[in-house]
């Protein structure tokens, strides 16, 4: 680390060079804890915490207490920095800013979490726990057989899942007569608030019918959509922050300049005025999230699996592969955009072009391996729905099917090489990958029949099955490069 860099903490804020890095423009000692956040990873600290940091300059009620349900690494790193961290905006204009909205990050086992569960100042609970953290079945209902959920149902006063913790927190508040906060999902799930509400109600009904009725009647779960490309923190970022901003930061975060937060306006009267700092309040989040999940996230997942197969490491690197960049661009234009009904105020062509520019941003090193995580959870949300809509409308699914086949090839390659697969279904996927024979019909059938992620309606449609088999063959073995180049001209 740069020896001249100043250790980040409250005492040293005044020593930082304002020409190199901005610092909070409010008195941190005056802010109150109004937000309890589950899952304080990089995206939350780069995105939602940024909005609250701006809001604190005019309203001190919205400080954040982050709760880590599993790993304590972030809690440990930020504890030494009084919750402070550096936000690096990496785009055409590079700038650095210290975010002060996070007052503390604690473990779920910490006694302070118990106190926060019933604290009157907490008016909002937010979550970024990834798709798998909701423990949902394929039909969107709570998976009561999930190991964490099953354990929590046996011991609801000492839960380990996010759903279990939410129900326990609401029980504590109902019993204490404390005000009931809004609960806002910030994860990439279509209808995330609706799904979270159903999961919480399902869990509560399994342990206390009266509690579930209270939740149904009194708790608001607005839907939301979030967007900003946020690569994981690494040592290169730490060194860059030390060198360019003069800050010794154990866990800085990086983000592109673009950011968006769309929130359903079905909120309580005490909901924070996030609209005043750039969030969009709307009755129709679904239209915005559909555009984002399909155009951005669907393209990202396809790019990740195809790019890794062609030896690329980052989004920008993969997009600058002419053949791959052409596939992604044409897929977005011809196969994804036509499946979307644009919400008022959103020009799909402009949005698509802006996404392509964001993907090619050389200042952001967004690792394809990170995007490739949890494919079994992401594909149904990001790609399979678009494929189903296109089949109904008689549109092409050729490039979308390349994304599905590329995921299968990624699993096969990882199993053969003994590489780690980060996915809730990792064990099953490794077994499938090892059983593959690099024969399209045989291998695709294994994924179709054993994973449970493909809807029956798609599996009964020969157009889908044939398209994925064809794409798989194009991406296999010695034919892979030639097959891919041919696929560009589909």
SS3 labels along 293-340:
HHHHHHHHHHHHHHHHHCCCCEHHHHHCCHHHHHHHHHHHHHHHHHHC
Whole-model pTM: value is 0.79
Domain layout of the chain by residue ranges? 6-283, 286-488
Q: Where are the alpha helices (DSSP H) in 15-92?
A: 42-46, 48-55, 73-79
What integer best gives the mean pLDDT of the chain?
93
Averaged pLDDT, 88-96: 94
Question: Tokens 């590489």 sit at which residue?
Answer: 419
Give me the pLDDT at residue 118, please: 83
Between residues 35 and 72, the one the model is more confident about: 35
- C-alpha 219/C-alpha 265 separation (Å) is 14
Specify the residue for token string 């992604």: 328
- Angle at which helix 398-417 crosses helix 440-450, to 10 degrees, equals 90
Least confident of 17-21, 290-294, 474-478: 474-478
The pLDDT tens digits for 108-149 are: 888 777 778 889 999 999 999 988 899 998 788 999 999 999
- Give 253's strand partners: 87
- 6-283 and 286-488: same fold? no
Say what the pLDDT of residue 301 is: 97
CATH class of this structure's domain 286-488 = mainly alpha
Please check the confidence at residue 186 and state whether its pLDDT lies above 80: yes
Q: Which residues contact 95 (CB under 8 A, 6 or more apart)?
A: 22, 88, 89
What phi, psi does 263 have (nearest 5°)? -125, 135
Helix residue ranges, H only, 80-146: 111-117
Distance CA 471, CA 449 (A): 18
Task: Classify domain 6-283 by CATH number.
Answer: 3.40.50.720
**CA 348 – CA 350 distance, rounded (Å):** 5
Greatest Cα-to-Cα distance within the chain, rounded to the nearest angstrom = 67
């Amino acid at each position: 680390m740069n020896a001249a860099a100043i250790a980040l903490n409250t005492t040293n804020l005044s020593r930082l060079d304002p020409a190199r890095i901005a610092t909070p423009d409010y008195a941190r000692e005056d802010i109150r804890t109004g937000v309890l956040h589950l899952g304080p990873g990089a995206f939350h600290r780069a995105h939602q915490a940024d909005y609250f940091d701006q809001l604190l300059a005019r309203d001190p009620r919205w400080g954040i207490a982050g709760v880590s349900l599993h790993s304590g690494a972030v809690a440990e790193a930020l504890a030494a920095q009084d919750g402070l961290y550096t936000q690096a905006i990496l785009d055409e204009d590079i700038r650095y800013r210290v975010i002060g909205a996070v007052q503390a990050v604690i473990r779920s086992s910490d006694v302070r979490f118990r106190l926060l569960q019933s604290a009157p100042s907490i008016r909002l609970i937010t979550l970024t726990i990834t798709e798998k953290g909701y423990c949902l079945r394929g039909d969107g209902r709570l998976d009561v057989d999930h190991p964490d959920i099953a354990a929590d149902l046996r011991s609801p006063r000492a839960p380990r899942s996010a759903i279990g913790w939410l129900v326990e927190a609401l029980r504590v508040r109902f019993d204490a007569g404390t005000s009931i906060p809004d609960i806002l999902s910030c994860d990439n799930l279509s209808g995330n608030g609706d799904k979270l509400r159903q999961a919480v109600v399902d869990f509560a009904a399994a342990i206390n019918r009266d509690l579930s009725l209270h939740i149904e009647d009194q708790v608001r779960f607005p839907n939301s959509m979030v967007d900003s490309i946020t690569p994981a923190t690494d040592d290169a970022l730490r060194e860059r922050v030390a060198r360019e901003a003069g800050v010794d930061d154990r866990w800085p975060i990086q983000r592109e300049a673009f950011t968006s937060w769309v929130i359903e306006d079905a909120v309580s009267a005490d909901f924070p005025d996030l609209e005043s700092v750039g969030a969009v309040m709307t009755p129709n989040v679904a239209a915005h999230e559909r555009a984002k999940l399909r155009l951005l996230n669907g393209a990202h997942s396809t790019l990740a699996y195809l790019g890794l197969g062609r030896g690329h490491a980052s989004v920008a690197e993969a997009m600058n592969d002419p053949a791959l960049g052409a596939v992604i661009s044409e897929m977005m234009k011809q196969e994804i955009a036509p499946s979307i009904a644009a919400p008022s105020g959103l020009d799909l062509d402009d949005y698509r072009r802006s996404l392509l520019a964001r993907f090619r941003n050389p200042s952001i090193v967004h690792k394809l391996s990170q995007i490739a995580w949890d494919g079994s959870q992401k594909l149904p949300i990001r790609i399979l729905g678009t494929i189903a809509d296109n089949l109904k409308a008689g549109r092409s699914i050729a490039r979308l099917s390349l994304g599905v086949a590329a995921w299968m090839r990624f699993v096969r390659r990882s199993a053969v090489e003994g590489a780690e697969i980060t996915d809730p279904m990792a064990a099953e996927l490794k077994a499938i990958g090892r059983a593959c024979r690099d024969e399209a019909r045989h291998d695709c059938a294994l994924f179709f029949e054993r994973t449970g992620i493909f809807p029956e309606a798609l599996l009964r449609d020969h157009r889908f099955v044939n398209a994925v088999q064809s794409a798989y063959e194009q991406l296999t073995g010695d034919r892979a490069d030639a097959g891919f180049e041919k696929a560009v001209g589909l």
